[in-house]
Chains A and B, each alone.
Chain A
Amino acid sequence: MYSFEPSEEQKMLVDAVRRYANDDLRAAYRDADEEGNLPPALIEKGWELGYLQASIPEAYLGFGERSVVTGALAAEEMAYGDLAAALAVMPPGLYTTPILMAGTEAQKNEFIPPVIEMEWKPFTAALMESKFDFDPNDLQTTAVLDGDAYVLNGEKVYVPYADGAQGMIVYANLDGETQGFVLPAGTNGLTVGERQKLLGLHALPLFPVRIENVRVPKENRLGGESGHDFAPIMDAIRVAMAAMAVGVSKAAFEYSRDYAKDRDVFGMKVAQKQAIAFMLAEMATEIEAIRLLVWQAAWMLDNGKAEASKQAYLAITGAADMAMVVTDRAVQILGGHGYIREHPVELWMRNGRGFATFTGLAIV
């Protein structure tokens, strides 16, 4: 049947994340963006909400079961609070979720428990590369089999917490297919460059990583000797990013709506002007529509539906456009004040543009 009501457990998780978003993330986001720094305690608190741990089976020291729908619900709320902080809490999942999805039993047992059994630690993954038409299925980072190891070469960018990472999955092109490789801390040949400066996400440490003749033991190829299918991982990444785009858009919509209802102009409120009211109506409608597209893709992934991959792609495509339009409109609705770094909308617009480009920064 069709149903649009989250379960009780999902509602509890959403409420908890939303409280964290409203109470903690919204209080910290502006200073974090100005200073380029997120307080560790803030990240730890987000980590302790346990949404990642709840997606991992007990066998690997988690306490739940993976659900893309649940992950999407949580991701939206986190991003609604602050995208940089959300993307700071999530990197350990970039490491464990692909292993959970595609790793061998041995890999799951070895690599997952250390990540989730205690406090937040910097584990991450490297996917994006510095090409204008970056294509996750046509990577320039290569992997070549040499004896009992794969030799990796390439350059990655936008890698969260690469500096000090205790483990990293690197995606490389092996005979034309994207494959993940699990790299433990201290792997030789990895050079983490200077922290990147971007249009948005100032508070999130993102790094370029040079990969020079890095040797990865055969057994650390994700999925073992026969490797894995990259598509489901890409699908889960797309749904995560799309859900976060919905969260950022919702934040921008609500803020500009409330501002417009409060601001006086020509003897009435700005929100009483049709041009503004219609913008808000369109923003709200867009968000509702794209959210449903994201949910549908998430549900299809959870239920192994044939067209799930295409739907995940459509969801992120729609979500990226929505995020740009909605965050731009939010700045517009605030007029000159929208341009000032005292209101959040300019920051949300800077982040909003990113969804057309960000990939591999989160996974559900």
Chain B
Amino acid sequence: MIEFETPKPIEQINNVVETVAINMMRPVSRYFDEHEHEIPWDYINFMHTAVKAMGGTSMAPDESTKPKDADPDKPKRPPIGYQRLAHMVEMLSWGDAGMYLCVPGGLLGSAAVAAAGNADQKKRFLSRMVGDKPAFDAMAMTEPQAGSDTSAIRATAVLDKDTQEWILNGEKIFVTAGHKALVESDGFVVVWASIDPSAGRAGMRAFVIEAGTAGCTVTKMEHKLGIRVSDTVSIVLADCRIPFGNILGSPTVEKTTKGFKGAMATFDATRPIVAAQAIGIARATLELLKEELEKNGIKIRYGLPRQKLTNIEREVIDMEVLFQSAWLLVIKALWMADNKINNPKEASMAKVRAGDIVVRITQKAVEILGPLGYSRDMLFEKWFRDAKITDLYEGTGQINRLVVARNILEYRGSELR
């Protein structure tokens, strides 16, 4: 069956999240944009309480729990965990894309533990998210010389057999929420390092570093174009010792890149989620743009031949086509994830398109609205700045095009660089 009905549970949560966005995010959006590195504790505490109440350790769907009403006679409801997450992320980003990144426990660190951790690790790390105080997670992969090219990562993890500890050394940059995870809360950072540099990607592993661990220092907080309320930091690892059991996945190095690929598989779920963030910004922009135009007597006349449309109508209609088709790609990619259908092509397509369209939509909106669009009296210029990151992190638009291209051409990485 081909169907586009938003499931009722998702509709319900949308209403709740929209209220949060309107009441707790939009009113302070501009303030936190102008006070970079101040922390929106009111919002964070509220979200912490909400996430706990939902019973989840993060917003990510927890596949290990059975539904409470597992009545064998009832028809099985189709799984919608990732689809629901997409809607929540979209709505929170519609509120404020940077503040969405301040949700305690909702980021890539948790996702990595949820995807690659064993039961004990999930308990030890994810349980922090439902403690008394908010706790944050972060993912540290990028290094000064290694962004798109993850094989250039130089951080190392050496096993001290006597103490059964990993010793980590290296420098990570562009760590979202690294400061909140390590300094402002009892959180953790998932760090990518090599246990065998000679093995290339096959030697790459993820390690959990808990807040308060010696030898792990936040050294720099970036000043950014947008999403300024979200801290983006550098972390230096200097003989940082962590328990052996803090490695995610297998500690043995095989000749294949299976371990690396296994973790890269989490990107098939996280890429569309980042795409959902882009969509939220796009929707906020499109809705407010149409409102502003209407205030100026301009209504979009759908149904007219292109030749009869004004230029502005034409641009807005094109924006709607881009926006809606991009959102549907996100939904399809996550519907596939929910139904355990292999989706690397769709996941990357969703990211390619969403990053692309939100940049075009936000840039166009500022242009169309002239002096109003360019002014800090309105949020358009902020959304223009926030939007850009979505085509950069979680794989740039170009890297994601490469992933799509390899998929549709059936090329290995070595065949298409």
Binding site for B on A (CB under 8 A): 1-7, 10, 69, 132-137, 234, 257, 260-261, 271-272, 274, 277-278, 280-282, 284-285, 288-290, 292-293, 295-296, 298-300, 303, 309-311, 313-314, 317-318, 321, 356
Cα(A77)–Cα(B360), bound, Å: 32
Tell me, yes or no, whether B162 is within 8 Å of chain A by CB.
no
Are B3 and A2 in contact (CB-based, < 8 A)? yes
* Nearest residue, chain B, Cβ from A282: B401
Q: Which residues of A contact B332 (CB under 8 A)?
A: 2, 4, 288, 292
Q: Identify which of B83, B308, B318, B401 contacts A135 (C-beta below 8 A).
A: B308
Cα(A278)–Cα(B306), bound, Å: 29
Q: A280-B408, A314-B321, A318-B325 are in contact. Are A3 and B1 (CB under 8 A)?
A: yes
Q: Identify which of B308, B328, B417 contacts A296 (C-beta below 8 A).
A: B328
Distance in angstroms from B191 CB to nearest chain A CB is 31
Cα(A277)–Cα(B303), bound, Å: 36
Q: Which residues of B contact A311 (CB under 8 A)?
A: 324
Q: Identify which of A6, A7, A285, A314 contacts B404 (C-beta below 8 A).
A: A285
Q: Identify which of B2, B303, B404, B416 contacts A137 (C-beta below 8 A).
A: B303
Q: What are 8 A-B interface contacts by the 8 Å CB criterion? A: A1-B7, A274-B402, A278-B402, A285-B329, A288-B349, A292-B332, A314-B321, A317-B306
Q: Identify which of B78, B318, B346, B401 contacts A317 (C-beta below 8 A).
A: B318
Cα(A5)–Cα(B408), bound, Å: 20
Cα(A4)–Cα(B333), bound, Å: 10
Cα(A321)–Cα(B314), bound, Å: 12
CB neighbors of A among B67-119 (8 A): 78, 80, 83
Distance in angstroms from A269 CB to nearest chain B CB is 8
Tell me, yes or no, whether B296 is within 8 Å of chain A by CB.
no
Cα(A290)–Cα(B321), bound, Å: 8
Q: Which residues of A contact B321 (CB under 8 A)?
A: 293, 314, 317-318, 321
Q: Which residues of B contact A277 (CB under 8 A)?
A: 401-402, 405, 409, 416
Are A292 and B305 in contact (CB-based, < 8 A)? no
Q: Which residues of A contact B304 (CB under 8 A)?
A: 135, 137
Are A3 and B2 in contact (CB-based, < 8 A)? yes
Q: Which residues of A contact B80 (CB under 8 A)?
A: 1-2
Cα(A356)–Cα(B416), bound, Å: 35
Tell me, yes or no, whether B17 is within 8 Å of chain A by CB.
no
Tell me, yes or no, whether B382 is within 8 Å of chain A by CB.
no
Are A293 and B401 in contact (CB-based, < 8 A)? no
CB neighbors of A among B260-278 (8 A): none
B interface, how many residues as a size bin? 35 or more
CB neighbors of A among B389-417 (8 A): 398, 401-402, 404-405, 408-409, 411, 415-417
Q: Identify which of A7, A281, A289 contacts B401 (C-beta below 8 A).
A: A281
Q: Which residues of A contact B328 (CB under 8 A)?
A: 289, 292-293, 296
Tell me, yes or no, whether B4 is within 8 Å of chain A by CB.
yes
Tell me, yes or no, whether B120 is within 8 Å of chain A by CB.
no
Cα(A350)–Cα(B325), bound, Å: 25
Q: Contact mask B189-204 → A, CB, 8 Å, 1/0?
A: 0000000000000000
Tell me, yes or no, whether B320 is within 8 Å of chain A by CB.
yes
Cα(A7)–Cα(B3), bound, Å: 11
CB neighbors of A among B43-81 (8 A): 78, 80
Are B416 and A2 in contact (CB-based, < 8 A)? no
Q: Identify which of A4, A7, A285 contacts B349 (C-beta below 8 A).
A: A285
Q: Which residues of B contact A234 (CB under 8 A)?
A: 303
Distance in angstroms from A302 CB to nearest chain B CB is 9
Cα(A6)–Cα(B325), bound, Å: 19
Tell me, yes or no, whether B331 is within 8 Å of chain A by CB.
yes
Cα(A1)–Cα(B338), bound, Å: 12
Are B307 and A132 in contact (CB-based, < 8 A)? yes
Q: Which 8 A-B pairs have the closest CB atoms?
A: A133-B307, A289-B325, A292-B328, A318-B321, A277-B405, A281-B404, A281-B405, A3-B3
Cα(A82)–Cα(B97), bound, Å: 45
Interface centre among A10, A135, A281 (most CB of B within 10 A): A281
Distance in angstroms from A253 CB to nearest chain B CB is 8
Q: Identify which of A3, A4, A6, A285 contacts B353 (C-beta below 8 A).
A: A285
Distance in angstroms from A272 CB to nearest chain B CB is 5
Q: A132-B307, A293-B321 are in contact. Are A313 and B4 (CB under 8 A)?
A: no
Cα(A185)–Cα(B283), bound, Å: 51
Are B329 and A1 in contact (CB-based, < 8 A)? no
Tell me, yes or no, whether B335 is within 8 Å of chain A by CB.
yes
Cα(A282)–Cα(B346), bound, Å: 12
Tell me, yes or no, whether B153 is within 8 Å of chain A by CB.
no
Cα(A3)–Cα(B1), bound, Å: 6
Q: Which residues of B contact A280 (CB under 8 A)?
A: 405, 408-409
Cα(A317)–Cα(B402), bound, Å: 28
Tell me, yes or no, whether B39 is within 8 Å of chain A by CB.
no
Are A2 and B335 in contact (CB-based, < 8 A)? yes
Cα(A257)–Cα(B404), bound, Å: 13
Are A288 and B2 in contact (CB-based, < 8 A)? no
Distance in angstroms from A245 CB to nearest chain B CB is 13
Are B4 and A261 in contact (CB-based, < 8 A)? no
Are B401 and A2 in contact (CB-based, < 8 A)? no
Cα(A102)–Cα(B405), bound, Å: 46
Are A317 and B415 in contact (CB-based, < 8 A)? no
Q: Identify which of A6, A134, A261, A314 contacts B2 (C-beta below 8 A).
A: A6
Q: Which residues of B contact A296 (CB under 8 A)?
A: 4, 324, 328
Cα(A230)–Cα(B324), bound, Å: 25
Are A299 and B303 in contact (CB-based, < 8 A)? no
Distance in angstroms from B415 CB to nearest chain A CB is 6
Tell me, yes or no, whether B206 is within 8 Å of chain A by CB.
no
Tell me, yes or no, whether B42 is within 8 Å of chain A by CB.
no
Are A4 and B2 in contact (CB-based, < 8 A)? yes
Are B325 and A290 in contact (CB-based, < 8 A)? yes
Q: Which residues of A contact B302 (CB under 8 A)?
A: 309-310, 313-314
Cα(A272)–Cα(B402), bound, Å: 11
Are B7 and A134 in contact (CB-based, < 8 A)? no
Q: Which residues of A contact B353 (CB under 8 A)?
A: 285, 289
Are B305 and A5 in contact (CB-based, < 8 A)? no
* Nearest residue, chain A, Cβ from B321: A318
Q: Which residues of A contact B372 (CB under 8 A)?
A: none
Q: Which residues of A contact B317 (CB under 8 A)?
A: 314, 317
